[in-house]
Structure 1
Amino acid sequence: MTGLGNLWRQSARESFEAPGFQGDLAVDLVIIGAGFTGLSAALAAAGQGATVAVLEANTVGHGGSGRNVGLVNAGLWLPPDDVCRALGEAAGEHLNTVLGGAPDVVFDLVTRHAIDCEPRRAGTLHLAHAPKGEAQLKARLAQMQARGAPVQYLAADEVAKRTASAAFGGALFDARAGTIQPLAYARGLARAAAEQGARIYEQSPVTGAARHGGQWVVTSRSGKIRARRLLVATNAYHQPLAHMSMPSVPVVQYFQLATKPLAANLGGDILAGGEGAWDTGLIMTSIRRDEAGRVIIGGMGSEAATHTNWAERKLARLFPRLAGFEIEHAWSGKIAMTQDHLPRILRLGREGLAIFGYSGRGIGPGTVFGRAAALALLSDDESGLPVPGVDMYAERFCTLKALFYETGARLVHLGAARS
């Protein structure tokens, strides 16, 4: 392995740089976190004529937005019936509808703002890793088709043609979805928001946030921002703030490895249609190609030798011709995974919201949740939020839950490496 780190940082054609924040500033909306959620919110609010400031502790897309797989999915991990059971029929169907249309929102923004992020709307394949996975997919298929979603079940022979692998028993194909270069998309959102007048600041970690005199006062190491409205959009990368506590949510690691670009005669038939893919395993595996022809494989777990060895062996099992082929990039990120795999919008007193818990589905949900939160805050009307806001949220044993996923990943990957 050459160890070149995060592929998305090396290949992003969108660039964005912003100064650090200094001084004293008053705006309509202050946003903490420059990922998909915060940047989508900034773009929407600035487009409404509001004054907006975004404070990012590192650089735009530093967190999960610049480390994820790049699948623009429609919906959540949960099947739509499960969403309705968790939220109630009306709220559940509203969320299903909003997220079913999330790829439309993402690809519309990409087109409207000419974001150079390798967009490809060729659908996704949810792959059955075992017979029980086939049953799960067929149940999900019925639920999605009952709601009019353009999905279809593909038999094993068709899946083998599309993936160039005989490892899967079947797949659910969703024509609404697609792939992007995620960091380039985040940077493009930042550029578009700045063009609309939003002020974005990098290397500006927030140290505290509290209400004083009917407004939010957000402090950093070098200044202070006053705003009537606040959005916290830090998700799995939240840092402690003075005068504000956020609920603990289990944080799961997800790693990815990318091959060198493959010549057409070696890899041209692997996901030749451009679909992104992931499987039904509890310890999930994702597979996709990028525009340069790399095969990118990912799985739950930290970026440790155990997982790297597994990924190399997994790649060879899926595509025997790639056995021993050099891995060029390896990187990892963090996922905030709520107990029921549903995102949450937490009210922070008056005129403040925090969004978290995408459970690995950050691109579509982050984009639509961020936009909806900005419009709700500006209008003082929560009726357009994808999920109802809550006044409190708590989970127990978050560290143990995170350890469960990491241990499970290690055991699965060690077992696969020895088989």
Structure 2
Amino acid sequence: MPAAPVSNHGLWEATALPAPETAPLQAQGVAVDIAIVGAGYTGLSAALHAAEAGARVAVLESQHVGFGGSGRNVGLVNAGMWVMPDALPQALGEPHGQRLLDALGEGPSLVYGLVERHGLACEAVRRGTLHCAVGASGLRNLRERHRQWQARGAPVDLLDADAIAEATGSRAYTGGLLDRRAGTIQPLAYARGLAHAAVRAGAALHTHSPVTAVDDHHGHWTLHTPHGSVNAAWVIVATNAYTDRLWPALQEELVRFPYFNLATAPLPAALRARILPGQQGAWDTPDVLSSFRLDAQGRLVFGSVGALRGPGTAVHGDWGRRALARLFPALGRVAFEHAWYGQIGMTANALPRLHLLARNTVSISGYNGRGIAPGTVFGRALAQLALGRCRIDDLPLPLTEPTPAAFKALREMGYEVGALLVHAAQARF
């Protein structure tokens, strides 16, 4: 069976509406209030909120809108991070721990509110997400998560084996969590929609405009690109796992974690009625996790840890067919029409990091695979900071210094090779 062609953005590129028309920055000394580096969720949310407040904004993107993780992820709009709810305040202390829980809990509402307010065409569905337990240990983990969320009043339901089988269409799971705050979205279409909204609000968006140098003139910053420059009072660095050499401390702090997605052709109506009938997105509890969801046309999107390059292209694709056949026997050995992968930026404590990189130069990175709602939330927060509407101490994250990740290269290789070995050996269910 031939493998699906691997592309940067796979299915999402094939089904998203075009981004706004843009061009590389060509002028010198363009004066703005805020310069934003990176046109992903964080940068575009910051641009939209700042421009709506009347600020002069320029976004500088080295590739195109949504090039990095914003255009490659699964499309789950989750509330919260990977860590347990109670562990988050313990990790950050007060007041930031509770602030972050509150901000992220409201994150899906911000995303879906922007979609509605700006009419973004991005297949937005808010019917919750399913965290699926594999085995007894997975169920214990979800029971504890449910206890902690329930104590905080979150609308999260614990499902038994029969209920999760009905919700997913698979008997592979011992239980699950339904988080009613969450949902799914077409991730690249959402990024492009934010770009359209930001441009309509007055932001200037320049693609294929990598920042090659930054000069501090004390009264303003000058950001240089190959054919132009921008003068700005504030700089927001929103490059996350795709940060280049200009801010090496950000690159050194994040351990990159590869994740791939495979998409089938649209499923027959009978299968669509049985697999994820409530249209939730789902993922499971093992360390080498997998995720699955349907798009608006009924394609099944199935993903896991790994990079689709070298031997990984065949190994992960074959594992995907075997795993889906075990999850959903009625599918048989499906063919995949699209295949793509990207990099997730991981931090040591699985929480994002807020840094003051220089005078009036801020960044938030390290979403640990939870970029859609947090990126939107933190983009708005950084816009508020640059607008002078809050202090840096008022943000949901404490200010920290970048800390190089221990054994970064070895760990990155371990994620890729480890996933390759796991998927070569088994279809985990």
- TM-score range (shorter-chain normalised) is over 0.9
Q: Is the 8 A contact 1:40 1:371 kept in 2?
A: yes
Out of 379, 398, 412, the residue aligned to residue 388 of structure 1 is: 398
CA distance in 2, matches of 1:215, 1:122: 45
Equivalent position amino acid for 2:15 in 1: S
Q: Is the 8 A contact 1:14 1:116 kept in 2?
A: no
CA distance in 1, matches of 2:341, 2:175: 28
1:6-405 matches, within 5 Å, as 6-24=10-28, 25-241=30-246, 245-248=249-252, 249-303=254-308, 304=312, 305-379=314-388, 381-405=391-415
CA distance in 2, matches of 1:170, 1:250: 31
What is the deviation of 1:395? 2.1
Q: Is the 8 A contact 1:247 1:393 kept in 2?
A: no
Identify which range, 267-276 or 66-75, moves more after superposition. 267-276
CA distance in 2, matches of 1:30, 1:263: 47
Q: Secondary structure at the match of 1:92?
A: helix
CA distance in 1, matches of 2:251, 2:195: 27
1:362-387 Cα offsets, whole Å, 9 max, x none, are: 00000001110111122162244220
CA distance in 1, matches of 2:246, 2:331: 47
Q: Secondary structure at the match of 1:257?
A: strand
Q: Secondary structure at the match of 1:278?
A: strand
TM-score (structure 2 length as normaliser) = 0.95
> How many percent identity over aligned positions?
49
What is the deviation of 1:267? 3.0
Counting matched residue pairs gives 418
1:237-270 Cα offsets, whole Å, 9 max, x none, are: 111128x753511111100000000111233210
Equivalent position amino acid for 2:368 in 1: S
Q: Is the 8 A contact 2:97 2:396 kept in 1?
A: no
Identify which range, 39-48 or 401-410, moves more after superposition. 401-410
Identify which range, 322-331 or 190-199, moves more after superposition. 322-331
1:330-378 Cα offsets, whole Å, 9 max, x none, are: 0001100011110011101211101110000000000001110111122
CA distance in 2, matches of 1:404, 1:189: 35
What is the deviation of 1:129? 1.4
TM-score (structure 1 length as normaliser) = 0.97
What is the deviation of 1:3? 2.0
What is the deviation of 1:417? 4.9
Gaps in structure 2 of 5+ consecutive residues: none
CA distance in 2, matches of 1:118, 1:284: 24
What is the deviation of 1:391? 3.6
Q: Is the 8 A contact 1:207 1:240 kept in 2?
A: no
Q: Secondary structure at the match of 2:231?
A: strand
Gaps in structure 1 of 5+ consecutive residues: none
Q: Is the 8 A contact 2:241 2:251 kept in 1?
A: no
**CA distance change for structure 1 residues 308 and 264 in 2, over 3 Å: closer, same or farther?**
same
Identify which range, 259-268 or 97-106, moves more after superposition. 259-268
Alignment correspondent of 1:414:
424
Which 4+ residue blocks in structure 1 deviate beyond 4 angstroms?
Answer: none
